Structure formats: structure tokens, C-alpha cells
Amino acid sequence: MNPPKCDELDYIHFLVAAQNVFSNTEAARCHPCAGTHGPAHAASTRLLYRCQADGNALWEEVQHGVSLTTGFLIIDDTTLDKPSRRAIELVRRHWSGKHHRVVVGINLISMLWTDGKAHLPGDVRIADTAHDGLTKNDHFQAMVTAAAARGCQPHLLGCDRWSDRVAHVKLVRALNWQWLTQLNANRLVDPDGSDNRPIRAVLIPRHGAIVHLNGYGFINVFKIAPPDGGIAYWATSDLGMSVAQGAEYALYLWRIEAYHRGITQFCGIERAQHRSAVAQRNHIGLALRAFLRLESHRLRTGTSWFEAKAAIVREAIRAYLAQPLYTQISTA
């Protein structure tokens, strides 16, 4: 049997370099040996069916840049847009924070490690309840358990409002981790030992308040007015955290939003043209490993993801300007 002409690194490097078109046909055209001895576009397709580009493969690459005993772990989800792609097996209707409405796409749940500067994905899951029966909350607990098994002892675990269930924060407490999350305005708390009431009905001073979360125990709550208006209720298990610390840590949690923009804009994570769930999953896994290379380069050199991608094209344009291929037809 002949060895495969396309491996995982070939595909990852193509995703790093490609700008607009991320198809397997384009990958074959861009290969250094394109032509008689280069791979056919089916080589990339076969790769996506045989490789195992899951969260474990991602962790193998990222673990050397992650400090297990410091930093923050952040869990959040994003929806990869797949308009008019209902034939793709993983595509469902999900809420999109980008569009602020329900859209057709693939729901990606990520665990990110950050020290305030880095954006390092440590685990990833895809919501596919119709086939595996697992909800986003099930994936949350599985990711936290896996992180603990790897020896993670983060300074703080941050998560979005959809993952503020009491079962989740109890799991985090059982691991001796601290957590920080937003609470929904109707979350029941008891501020004074009298009765449970929605947190929106509780008077919370500027410095925060210690309240009893129904079904959990005492937590520290801050009431913050975001720049876009409205009221945000932030809660933490750290009863000694100040409102200034809470605001600083909340900014750390926004790192995952920058990460979501990075993987969609620079790695072609939404652009796989495959109907199979296996191919889609492996494309997503390899796209995240492509992002990891851009992020590692940024941390080493200070070069932004955009500039790193632009530098690849800039070299190609410079070579073209030195020897233009397309010239005006002479009329003499």
C-alpha cells in the first residue's frame, strides 16, 4: 500500500496559509508538488476520514504552553455558521451570540486556558445531542473532569450564563477550584436568611454582597453595568474577592470571545465542505491546531493573527511584482 500523500501537518499548514478558500481542491492546487507528483484533492478528504483530530490530539500540542497550577480556565460555546447546509450531519439550530438569534450551524464548546495574554485551547466538544444524547451541560462536566484528571489546578474557572447550573458549581467546588460566572436575573438567592427571591429583586451594594445560592451555599455577588447597557450579575465562590478583582477577572473571561473570532476569521473552521460528521469533526480539530500555531507565533513575536496571515500573502505579492505574469497585449 502506498503511503498517504497528505498528512495532518500538511492540512494544518494549508489552513494557516489559506486566506479565503479552504477546500480540499484548493489544498491540492497549493501543494508544493502540485501536478504530476502532487496529491489529489481526494488525499485531503481521505485524511479527514482517517485521522483523530479530537480534544486529546489538541491537548498533546498545547500542554507544553499551559501552566497547570496557574492561570484561568474558561468554558464557553460558539456557533459555527453553516447557512443553507442542512445536509451536514452536525448542523442544527443553535443560538448565536454573534447574530443574537437562532441560526443554522454547528455548536462548538471550548475550554480555553489564559494567563491574561494567551489564548490556548485545551479541550473542545461538539454538541450533537441527536446522536450521542449529550447536552452542553454534560459536555461541561466532562471537560472539567478531564481537566482535573490532567492535573489542572487553575486560579479560577470562568463560564458563561448557560453553564451556571448548581450541579456544575458543585462539581467545581468538589475539585477545590474557585469559579466565576454570570447569573441569570431570575436565579434564586437568599440575601438575609428570610426567603429565596430572584437576584434582580435583591439590593446589592457597590462593593458586592454575600448571599445564599439556592441549592449550593454562600456566594459573593457583584452587580455591574456593562458598557452596552443593562445589568450583569457576576457571582464567585471566592467570598473574599473584591469588586475590582471581579471586574478584572471578568475581562479575562472575555478572552474566549477574542478566541472565537480568531478561529472563525483566520483558520477556516467554518469552511469545510463535507457532509459527514467525521470529516467535519476532524476539520474542526485540525483548524484549532492551526490556530494554535498562529497564537504561539503571536506569543513569541508579538505579531497579531491578522499580520501573520497577511505576511504570507505579502511575500507572494512581492514575488509576483518582481516577475508579473499578466501583462498588457502589445498593439504595436
**What whole-number distance in Å separates Cα of residue 131 and Cα of residue 152?**
30
Lowest mean pLDDT among 97-101, 188-192, 289-293: 97-101
Per-residue confidence (pLDDT) for residue 163, from 0 to 100: 60
Task: Report which of residues 24 and 118 the model is more confident about.
Answer: 118
The per-residue pLDDT for range 165-219, each reduced to its tens digit, is: 888 999 999 999 999 999 988 999 999 988 999 999 999 998 999 999 999 999 9
Helices (H), 175-301: 243-253, 255-266, 277-301
Question: In 3D, which of 2, 115, 125, 1 has the Cα closest to residue 54?
Answer: 125
- Could you tell me if 189 and 199 are in contact, meaning their C-beta atoms sit under 8 angstroms apart? yes
The per-residue pLDDT for range 119-170, each reduced to its tens digit, is: 999 999 999 998 899 998 999 999 999 999 999 999 999 987 766 688 899 9
Per-residue confidence (pLDDT) for residue 251, from 0 to 100: 84
For the chain, percent of residues with pLDDT exceeding 70:
94
Is the per-residue pLDDT at 1 higher than 60?
A: no
Q: What SS3 state is found at 120?
A: strand
Task: Report which of residues 163 and 314 the model is more confident about.
Answer: 314
The per-residue pLDDT for range 35-68, each reduced to its tens digit, is: 666 677 788 888 888 888 888 899 999 999 999 9
* CA atoms lying within 13 Å on the CB side of residue 272: 29
β-pairing, 72-81 vs 92-96, is unpaired
- β-bridge mates for residue 236, sequence order: 180, 220
**What whole-number distance in Å separates Cα of residue 26 and Cα of residue 4?**
18
DSSP 63-99: GGG--TTSSEEEEEEEEEE-TT-TTSTT-EEEEETTT
Per-residue confidence (pLDDT) for residue 38, from 0 to 100: 67
Per-residue confidence (pLDDT) for residue 274, from 0 to 100: 86
The per-residue pLDDT for range 249-283, each reduced to its tens digit, is: 888 888 899 999 999 999 999 988 888 999 999 99
State the pTM of this model: 0.90
Question: In 3D, which of 155, 174, 175 has the Cα closest to residue 113?
Answer: 155
**What whole-number distance in Å separates Cα of residue 120 and Cα of residue 61?**
10
Per-residue confidence (pLDDT) for residue 258, from 0 to 100: 93
Q: How far is CA 87 from the centre of its chain?
A: 24
The per-residue pLDDT for range 216-256, each reduced to its tens digit, is: 999 999 988 776 667 889 999 999 999 999 888 888 888 89
Q: Which domains does the chain have, with CATH numbers?
A: 8-51+277-290+300-322 (no CATH), 55-259 (3.90.350.10)
Per-residue confidence (pLDDT) for residue 30, from 0 to 100: 83
- Could you tell me if 268 and 27 are in contact, meaning their C-beta atoms sit under 8 angstroms apart? no
